[in-house]
Amino acid sequence: MNKIEHLGIAVKNLEASNELFHKLLGVAPYKTEEVASEGVRTSFFKTGESKIELLEATDKDSPIAKFLEKKGEGIHHIAFDVADIQQEVKRLQEEGFVVLNEKPKKGADNKWVVFLHPKSTNGVLIELCQEIEKAE
Interacting residues toward Zn ion by CB under 5 A: 8, 53, 79, 127
* Distance in angstroms (rounded) separating the CA atoms of residues 32 and 55: 10
Closest approach, Cβ 42 to Zn ion, in A, equals: 7
Closest approach, Cβ 54 to Zn ion, in A, equals: 10
- Using DSSP, state whether 86 is helix, strand or coil: helix
Which single residue brings its beta carbon nearest to Zn ion? 8
Closest approach, Cβ 8 to Zn ion, in A, equals: 4
Q: Of 63 and 92, which has the nearer Cβ to Zn ion?
A: 63
- Strand segments, DSSP code E, in 11-124 are 31-35, 40-47, 50-57, 74-81, 105-107, 111-116
